[in-house]
Amino acid sequence: MFRQLQSDTSESAPTGTIVPFRAHRRPIVDGVSHRRDDDSPLANASPTPRSLVLKEDELRAIETAFADGITAVQIVDAFTSRNIKFSEASFRKYVQQGLLPRSRRVGRKGKHRGSMGMYPAKTVRRINDVKSLMAEGYTIEEIQGQFLLYTDLVEGISEHLAELWNRLGTDITKHDPAQRKELERELADVRRDGDRVVDRLGALTRRVAAPRTDNLRLAGAAGGAEDLL
DNA sequence: CGAGCGTATCTTAATGCGTA
DNA sequence: TACGCATTAAGATACGCTCG
């Protein structure tokens, strides 16, 4: 199915103003990756500058709408419908490279309807992060190794904690009212601690990844990428 | 010319349903 | 219950394009 959808060869259009780039990186100026010759027929094919990534409110809306999971087609559509270039082939490649979580298969009722893959809603945000970093000049390999390795783990902790809070909250309601109050207070307390730990872990992992980022900058590399995760 | 990203396409795996 | 079929996604890999 993906094969029929890969005719878009138009160019990426990263956001931001002039961004330094590494050796072997493509220059990114005024939100346009200058990969194509200026005299190419397609050089000025997109008269209106477009954003490379989704805005925070758009991400929130998507995550809310697809809280139970989102298909690959819907993910790609979330970007392409907003004039942000992102093909299904690229999506699959990111998954293959380990930049995105894998899908879970869900069968569909009805004759010969097969199954479909459902991805967590956070996948859209992850793609957004990856695209931001790529716009900064980072390679997929660098993003994978320096940032997303940590991001995966911290997100995992955050998700497990959220699940734990939910279960505890549910089970606490089964206690008698006198005990419940005390347990709820304790839960709220430990929840604050947990959230703080997740925040600190996020900050720490950014700092750990930062030296590499600084090296890249010194070498004429991308800047500010550590602020993105 | 090499590096890097994106695309095309074939193969393989997973899933649900129908039927013997 | 086991098997085959239809459907879809994922894996693998070669290739094209652009840039330094």
Dump pLDDT digits (tens) for A154-179.
877 887 788 788 888 888 988 888 89
- Within window 95-124 on A, which residues have Cβ closer than 7 Å to strand C? 95-96, 102-103, 112-117, 119
Distance in Å, residue A9 CA to nucleotide C8 C1': 25
In this prediction, residue A53 carries a pLDDT of: 72
Q: What would the pLDDT profile of A2-43 be if each residue is shown by its tens digit? A: 333 333 333 332 222 222 223 233 333 333 333 323 322 223
Do the Cβ atoms of A137 and A18 come closer than 8 Å? Answer: no
Here the tokens at position A190 are 């430990």
Here the tokens at position A200 are 């600190």
In this prediction, residue A200 carries a pLDDT of: 92
Please report the DSSP string for chain A in residue order. -GGGG----PPP---SS-B---TTSPPEETTEE--S-TTSTTTT---S---SS--HHHHHHHHHHTTT-B-HHHHHHHHHTTT----HHHHHHHHHHTSSPPPEEEE-SSTT--EEEEB-THHHHHHHHHHHHHHTT--HHHIIIIIIHHHHHHHHHHHHHHHHHHHHHHHHTTS-HHHHHHHHHHHHHHHHHHHHHHHHHHHHHHHHHHHHHHHHHHTT---SGGG--
* pTM greater than 0.85: no
In this prediction, residue A52 carries a pLDDT of: 63
Confidence of residue A51 (pLDDT cuts 50, 70, 90): low
Give strand B nucleotides closer than 7 A to any protein Cβ: 2-10, 14-18
Q: What would the pLDDT profile of A173-213 be if each residue is shown by its tens digit? A: 888 888 999 999 999 999 999 999 988 988 887 677 654 44
What is the pLDDT averaged over residues A60-86?
Answer: 75
Do the Cβ atoms of A194 and A169 come closer than 8 Å? Answer: no
* pLDDT of A47 above 80: no
A71 touches strand C (CB under 7 A): yes
User: Which range has highest mean pLDDT (A60-64, A90-94, A172-176, A222-226)?
Assistant: A172-176
